[in-house]
């Protein structure tokens, strides 16, 4: 039997074709028009479109709802069509067939939004403006280092709120991934452990978001923080024992400050199969 992690990886590969081979946003706009009489469905689609619009405008998006169609969606279709058409009107049957055929495709498109963000913008963790505001409030007047910063969404968001941030990344992945050409802030080319050695005397907090689940660079980061001359706190964004970080890292990590962690996760809620969260670690 497949584990949850294996299922997520299979689903992810399946959805990547959909987001790569289609004009995703135009597709979502067509679905919004097709399902214009269904508020619950339009709500989900509008959230995706508004999120994309803000990211495209180099702004952080708002929080997302869970991008799943309602369990009673077919009942909703049936009720609306019955209200609009007489029982024997073939137009009602035609619309039912059209909407029923579109539903599984829309469902797949909604579930593929994370893949679209990864492939289009290089945004792996979904970073919203409300979440970054909570993160900035938690960090306060401390300076912060971000390792493995990717395209820099977190660092830019914090810097825009007035924090001193040092975004770093090895950038080894850029040659293989075109999304690395779309940095939203200047990223210093520096591997994670070297970044900690360089900035440990200048910061109080280190952010590590969506570290890969292969290799143990995340464990190297944790050990470097624990050996640092200056007390450092590690802020991790990832899915525990799931899609991010190594098993060795999660085994070694010591979670702290549960109340602060809960507050940080108010605006970092799952919207798909990935259940990533914020963790405070020392």
pTM of the model: 0.87
- For the chain, what is the domain count? 2
Which of 121, 152, 175 terminates a domain? The answer is 121
Domain hosting residue 227, numbered range: 129-281
Same domain for 42 and 164?
A: no
Question: In this structure, are 53 and 139 located in the same domain?
Answer: no
Q: Which residues pair with 237 in a beta bridge?
A: 209, 278
Q: What is the DSSP string of 160-207?
A: HTT--EEEEE--TTGGG-GGGG--SS--EE--HHHHHHHHTTT-SEEE
144-158 burial by CB neighbour count: b if 16+ within 10 A, else e? bbbbbbbbbbbbbbb
Cα angle 194, 122, 18; round to 5: 145
- Kindly give the parts of the chain with pLDDT less than 70: 1-22, 175-181
Nearest Cα residue to 67 out of 88, 37, 46, 94: 46
Q: Tens of pLDDT along 125-139?
A: 999 999 999 999 999
Q: Is residue 41 domain-shared with residue 133, that is, in the same domain? A: no
DSSP secondary-structure letter at 66? -
Position 156 scores a pLDDT of 97
Last residue of a domain, one of 69, 91, 121: 121
Helix or strand holding residue 233 (H, E): strand 233-238
| Same domain flag for 134 and 273 | yes
- The rounded distance, in Å, linking the Cα atoms of 97 and 101 is 6
* Structural domain ending residue among the three candidates 86, 101, 121: 121
């Amino acid at each position: 039997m497949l584990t949850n992690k294996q299922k997520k990886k299979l689903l992810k590969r399946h959805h990547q074709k959909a987001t790569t081979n289609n004009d995703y946003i135009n597709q979502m706009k067509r679905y919004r028009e097709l399902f214009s009489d269904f508020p619950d469905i339009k709500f989900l689609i509008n959230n995706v479109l508004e999120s994309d619009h803000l990211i495209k405008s180099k702004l952080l998006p708002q929080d997302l709802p869970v991008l799943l169609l309602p369990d009673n969606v077919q009942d909703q279709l049936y009720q609306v069509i019955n209200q609009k058409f007489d029982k024997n009107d073939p137009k009602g049957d035609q619309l039912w067939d059209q909407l029923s055929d579109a539903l599984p495709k829309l469902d797949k498109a909604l579930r593929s939004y994370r893949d679209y963000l990864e492939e289009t913008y290089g945004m792996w963790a979904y970073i919203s403006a409300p979440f970054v505001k909570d993160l900035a409030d938690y960090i306060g007047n401390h300076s912060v280092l971000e390792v493995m910063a990717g395209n820099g969404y977190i660092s830019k968001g914090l810097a825009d709120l007035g924090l001193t941030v040092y975004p770093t990344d090895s950038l080894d992945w850029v040659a293989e991934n075109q999304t690395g050409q779309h940095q939203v802030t200047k990223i210093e080319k520096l591997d994670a452990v070297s970044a900690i050695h360089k900035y440990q005397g200048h910061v109080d907090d280190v952010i590590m978001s969506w570290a890969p689940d292969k290799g143990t660079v995340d464990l190297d980061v944790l050990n470097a923080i624990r050996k640092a001359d200056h007390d450092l706190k590690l802020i991790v964004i990832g899915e525990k024992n799931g899609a991010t970080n190594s098993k060795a890292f999660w085994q070694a990590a010591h979670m702290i400050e549960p109340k602060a962690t809960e507050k940080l996760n108010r605006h970092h809620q799952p919207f798909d199969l990935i259940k990533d969260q914020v963790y405070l670690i020392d």
